């Protein structure tokens, strides 16, 4: 039976900052998860380093690591591991808050406790919210699932991942993302 309480963006804003947990609202339901483990954060740092180096070198936009609140709609606020927002869309970023709208790229690093949640519920939310590209990184398998709207199955990168931003195309060695 579904809970009667429907959480909204306003509820999310009232949650005290808590670095030991992530708080997300998906379809009006509140999800609270434990802070990530070291390996998870190591992969997040690698992804951020790779994206940020290219974004800065080519003045493409901003890449940031989470947790950062991404307000997709009134009953959907998530805290992805890494996001990228292209320069021409930086108006969706509130420097004093979070992001209001779909980032150009969302990256989630799968953990033992969040695998199903990220692969199913959050993936469907991102695709329904017009996130142009979602990467699901599996550190155990050393693969990246690339999802785009209308995809029925992901592209799976094992060796090289292609990141496109406007007219730019970057080939990224998958191993670079999982360096430990």
Is pLDDT of 168 > 70? yes
- State residue 175's pLDDT score: 97
Q: Is the pTM of this model over 0.75?
A: yes
Tens of pLDDT, residue by residue over 31-76, are 999 888 999 999 999 999 999 999 999 999 999 999 899 999 999 9
Query: What confidence tens digit (pLDDT) does each residue in 101-153 have?
Result: 999 999 999 988 889 999 999 999 999 999 999 999 999 999 999 999 989 99
Contact of 105 with 132, CB cutoff 8 Å = yes
Q: Which residues, at least 6 apart from 105, have a Cβ–Cβ distance to it below 8 Å? A: 51, 63, 82, 83, 84, 131, 132, 133, 134, 135, 163
What does the pLDDT read at residue 20? 85
Architecture of domain 37-178: Alpha-Beta Complex (3.90)
The domains of the chain are located at 37-178
């Amino acid at each position: 039976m579904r809970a009667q309480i429907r959480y909204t963006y306003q509820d999310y804003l009232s949650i005290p900052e808590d670095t030991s947990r992530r708080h997300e609202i998906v379809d009006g339901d509140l999800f609270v998860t434990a802070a990530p483990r070291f390996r998870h954060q190591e992969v997040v740092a690698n992804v951020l380093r790779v994206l940020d180096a290219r974004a800065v070198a080519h003045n493409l936009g901003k890449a940031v690591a989470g947790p950062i609140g991404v307000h997709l709609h009134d009953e959907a606020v998530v805290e992805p591991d890494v996001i990228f927002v292209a320069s021409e869309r930086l108006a969706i970023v509130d420097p004093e808050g979070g992001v209001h709208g779909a980032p150009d790229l969302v990256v989630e690093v799968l953990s033992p406790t969040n695998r199903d949640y990220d692969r199913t519920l959050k993936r469907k939310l991102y695709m329904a919210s017009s996130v142009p590209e979602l990467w699901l990184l599996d550190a155990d398998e050393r693969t990246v699932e690339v999802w785009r709207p209308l995809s029925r199955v992901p592209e799976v990168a094992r060796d090289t991942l292609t990141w496109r931003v406007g007219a730019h195309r970057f080939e990224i060695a998958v191993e670079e993302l999982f360096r430990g």
